[in-house]
Amino acid sequence: MKFDVLTLFPEMFEPLKQSIIGRAEEKDLIDINLINIRDFSKDKHKKVDDTPYGGGAGMVMRPDVVYDAIQSVNEPNAKVIYLSPQGKTLTQKKVEVLSQEKHLILLCGHYEGIDQRVIDESVDEEISIGDYVLTGGEIPAMVLIDTVSRYVDGVLSKESIKEESFASGLLEYPQYTRPEVFRGIKVPEVLLSGHHENIDKWRKEQSKNLTLKKRPDLLKKKDKSN
């Protein structure tokens, strides 16, 4: 999977060098290519934004600069995604669908966003990570890269994906590790029994009860396999 990220702040993507995503890139399972939109400014002052027509607060990113940045990496098989509060909300199902793509181009807006004409002209999909406003699309782009990369073959074990929360439409069962007793609280007996059938049953029941108690809305969803 190739990710091209178009941003004014490529330094914000340092966290993706860590842990599982960092290792996935080292192993060439994913490729994260950072493109500085400012490199496409033709202005002698490297200006990328201007005041909004019609007036109002803040600055808007110029369509010509953003368009040239997109065209520098665009190709027929790529999907151009604009991270914006106006997009469709990202779900685990959507993440799974996106992970089937070969090439994602992630466009990060800053300030008051990007001139609408380049969105209309070059963006395939607008995606939001939730109903709140951020200063830029960089954190949403990182969220998308992280969630999608987990579905790329070899990044996680197949088991981790199958077992985890949301894949089944339910919350994850509680996890325990050593010590057996912590502040007087013992690990649930069944987990020490070595009886895998009982452990499986117990975990499924925990998942159902937890979901009912903490996220009953998830049980009403149509798009799930429980």
Question: Can you give the binding site for ligand 4G4, defined by CB under 6 A?
Answer: 83-85, 109, 112-113, 128-130, 132-134, 136-137, 140
Give least dist CB 202 to ligand 4G4, A.
37
Give the DSSP per-residue string, 60-114: EE-HHHHHHHHHTT--TTEEEEEEEEEEEEP-HHHHHHHTT-SEEEEEE-BTT-B
Q: Kindly tell me which of 66 and 155 has the beta carbon lying closer to ligand 4G4.
A: 66
The CB-of-90 to ligand 4G4 minimum distance in angstroms stands at 8
What are the residues facing 103 on neighbouring strands?
2, 78
Q: How far is the CB of 111 from ligand 4G4 (least distance, A)?
A: 6
Other C-beta atoms closer than 10 Å to the C-beta of 11 total: 9
Closest CA to 65 of 3, 122, 103, 14: 122
Q: Which is nearer to ligand 4G4, 53 or 132 (CB)?
A: 132
Judged by CB, which is closer to ligand 4G4: 30, or 142?
Answer: 142
Q: Which is nearer to ligand 4G4, 80 or 170 (CB)?
A: 80
- Of 49 and 211, nearer to ligand 4G4 (C-beta) is 49
**47/39 Cα distance (integer angstroms):** 10
Could you tell me the smallest distance in angstroms from the CB atom of residue 106 to ligand 4G4? 11
Q: In whole angstroms, what is the distance from residue 193 CA to residue 55 CA?
A: 69
Q: Can you tell me the distance from the alpha carbon of 181 to that of 84, in angstroms, rounded to the nearest whole number? A: 47
Which residue's beta carbon is nearest to the bound ligand 4G4? 113
Whole-number minimum distance, CB 76 to ligand 4G4, in Å? 25
- CB nearer ligand 4G4, residue 93 or residue 204: 93
C-alpha to C-alpha distance for 152 and 20, rounded to whole angstroms: 12
Q: How near is the Cβ of 108 to ligand 4G4 at its closest, in Å? A: 7
Would you put residue 63 in left (φ > 0), alpha (ψ -120 to 50) or beta?
alpha
